Amino acid sequence: MCTVCGCSDGEVRIGGKAQAGHGALHEHGGAHAHGHDHHDHHHHVHESELHRHVHHYGRGPAGTSVPGMSQTRLIKIETDILAKNKAYANANRERLGQLGIVALNLLSSPGSGKTTLLVKTIEAMKATRDVAVIEGDQQTDADAARIRETGAPAIQINTGKGCHLDAHMVGHALDELAPQRGSVLFIENVGNLVCPAAFDLGEAHRVVILSVTEGEDKPLKYPDMFASADLVVVNKTDLLPHLDFNVEQAIANVRKVNAGVKVMKVSARTGDGLGSFVSWIEGARAMQLAGADVAHAVAGE
Amino acid sequence: MHEMAICESIRRTLEEQAAVHAFQRIGRVSLEIGPLSGVEVEALRFGFDVVMRGSIAEGAVLDIVECSAAAWCMQCAETVPIARRFDACPRCGSHQLQVTAGEEMRIKELEVD
Residue A278: inside a domain? yes
The verdict on A218 and A121 lying in the same domain is yes
The verdict on A151 and A54 lying in the same domain is no
Tell me: pLDDT of A169 over 90: yes
**B:4-63 residues touching chain A, CB 8 A cutoff:** 4-6, 8-13, 17, 21, 23, 27, 31, 36-38, 40, 43, 46-47, 51, 53-55, 58-59
Q: Please tell me whether residue A129 adopts helix, strand or coil conformation.
A: coil
Tell me which residue of B55, B69, B65 sits closest to B10, measured CA to CA: B55
Residue A21: inside a domain? no
* B3-112 CATH fold: hypothetical protein PF0899 fold (3.30.2320)
Per-residue pLDDT tens digits for B7-17:
999 999 999 99
Question: How far, rounded to the nearest angstrom, does the alpha carbon of residue A261 sit from its chain's CA centroid?
Answer: 19
**Quick check: A198 and B113 CB within 8 A?**
no
Cα angle, residue A161 at apex, residues A136 and A151 outer, rounded to 5°: 20
User: What count of other Cβ atoms lies within 10 Å of the Cβ of residue A149?
Assistant: 11
Residue A17: inside a domain? no
* pLDDT score, position A5: 54
Residue A4: inside a domain? no
The verdict on A158 and A58 lying in the same domain is no
Total number of domains constituting chain A: 2
The verdict on A39 and A97 lying in the same domain is no
The dihedrals phi and psi of B103, each to the nearest 5 degrees, come to: -100, 10
The verdict on A39 and A93 lying in the same domain is no
The verdict on A164 and A41 lying in the same domain is no
Tell me: pLDDT of A58 over 90: no
A72 pLDDT band (50/70/90 cuts)? confident
Q: Please tell me whether residue A104 adopts helix, strand or coil conformation.
A: strand
**Cβ-count burial of A290 within 10 angstroms (0-12 exposed, 13-18 middle, 19+ buried)?**
exposed
Q: Which of A3, A4, A86, A254 to mutate against chain B (most B CBs within 10 Å)?
A: A4
* pLDDT score, position A163: 87
Largest pairwise CA distance in chain B: 53
Tell me: pLDDT of A110 over 90: yes
Alpha carbon distance A196, B1 (integer Å): 9
* pLDDT score, position A44: 40
Percent of chain B with pLDDT over 70: 99
The terminus-to-terminus CA distance of chain B in angstroms comes to 32
Listed in sequence order, the DSSP H helices in A228-290 are 247-257, 274-289
**What's the whole-number average pLDDT of chain A?**
82
| Contact predicate A211/A235, CB 8 Å | yes
This prediction has a pTM of 0.80
The verdict on A63 and A157 lying in the same domain is no
Give the one of B23, B59, B105 whose C-beta lies nearest to A82's C-beta. Answer: B105
Lowest mean pLDDT among A22-31, A155-164, A182-191: A22-31
The verdict on A280 and A177 lying in the same domain is yes
Alpha carbon distance B48, B84 (integer Å): 25
The verdict on A132 and A153 lying in the same domain is yes
* pLDDT score, position A192: 94
User: What count of other Cβ atoms lies within 10 Å of the Cβ of residue A168?
Assistant: 22
Tell me: pLDDT of A19 over 70: no
Among chain B residues, CA nearest to A84: B9
Q: How would you classify the pairing of strands A154-158 and A13-14? A: antiparallel
Percent of chain B with pLDDT over 90: 88
**B:70-99 residues touching chain A, CB 8 A cutoff:** 74, 84-86, 88, 95-99
* pLDDT score, position A11: 66
**Which range of residues forms the domain containing residue A150?**
83-299
Alpha carbon distance A170, A215 (integer Å): 31
User: What ipTM, to 2 d.p.?
Assistant: 0.82
Alpha carbon distance A206, A230 (integer Å): 5
* pLDDT score, position A32: 39
Using the Cβ of A8 and the Cβ atoms of chain B, whether some distance falls under 8 Å is answered with yes
Q: Is the dihedral of CA B93, B98, B101, B106 positive or negative?
A: positive
Lowest mean pLDDT among A42-56, A109-123, B57-71: A42-56
* pLDDT score, position B2: 82
Q: How would you classify the pairing of strands A17-18 and A13-14? A: antiparallel
Tell me: pLDDT of A12 over 60: yes
**Quick check: B86 and A219 CB within 8 A?**
yes
The verdict on A38 and A108 lying in the same domain is no
The verdict on A167 and A269 lying in the same domain is yes
The verdict on A55 and A137 lying in the same domain is no
A17 pLDDT band (50/70/90 cuts)? confident
Residue A163: inside a domain? yes
Mean pLDDT of B39-48: 92
Per-residue pLDDT tens digits for A33-47:
343 443 343 334 344
Among chain B residues, CA nearest to A85: B9
